[in-house]
Amino acid sequence: MVLTRPPTPAAVLVPLVMRDEAPSVLLTRRTDHLHHHPGQISFPGGRVEAGDRSPVHTALRETEEEIGLADRHVELLGALPDYLTGTGFRVTPVVGLVHPPFDLRLDAFEVAEAFEVPLAHFLDPRNHEEHSIMHEGRLRRFHAMPYHGYFIWGATAGIIMSLYRLLNEER
């Protein structure tokens, strides 16, 4: 696939929930009727809008709109490298620590559910899979990280792999 236009800027929050027992990653499952990526596992976020001051602002705004998590619960750590999707988006992943207690209010139109996965699951290479599929005459490879019936793949898994690489460089 050759893009004929520049990628659409977007941003997501990579929320690392600081639980007493161990940190976890907060994810959402998109509703099945959405036009883009229905039913898929994702981070809260979306496209940059004209009034957004920065990708951080986009990620925090979208997170509050989608799951009701207020920015006062998020301690920003920085951003991972932009992720280019096959659907034409340039996603800036903004990493933040989320400090409980907090209540979520899901936007029922966009978000079917929110759930947490232990960060340790994603940091264990035994849980990393590589898949491939023929799409529009081209072999496309993608990461996947299944967890208890959830198939975490595509941009979400790619961003998690970016976080995994960063954390393993630090060791």
* Ranges of H-type helices in the chain: 55-67, 119-123, 154-170
Name the DSSP letter for residue 86: T
**Dihedral sign, Cα of residue 29, residue 31, residue 35, residue 38:** positive
Note whether 114 and 104 are within 8 A (CB). Answer: yes
Query: Is it the case that residue 138 has pLDDT exceeding 90?
Result: no
Decide: residue 120, CB within 10 A, 0-12 exposed, 13-18 middle, 19+ buried. exposed
Most confident of 19-23, 60-64, 138-142, 165-169: 60-64
Q: What is the dihedral of CA 106, 34, 160, 66, to 10 degrees?
A: -20
- Report pLDDT digits (tens) over 47-94: 999 999 999 999 999 999 999 999 999 999 999 999 998 888 999 999
For the record, the structure tokens of 29 come out as 């499952």
pLDDT at site 37: 64
Decide: residue 57, CB within 10 A, 0-12 exposed, 13-18 middle, 19+ buried. middle
Name the DSSP letter for residue 150: B
pLDDT at site 53: 96
Cα gap 171→156, rounded to integer Å: 23
- Report pLDDT digits (tens) over 24-48: 999 999 897 766 666 789 999 999 9
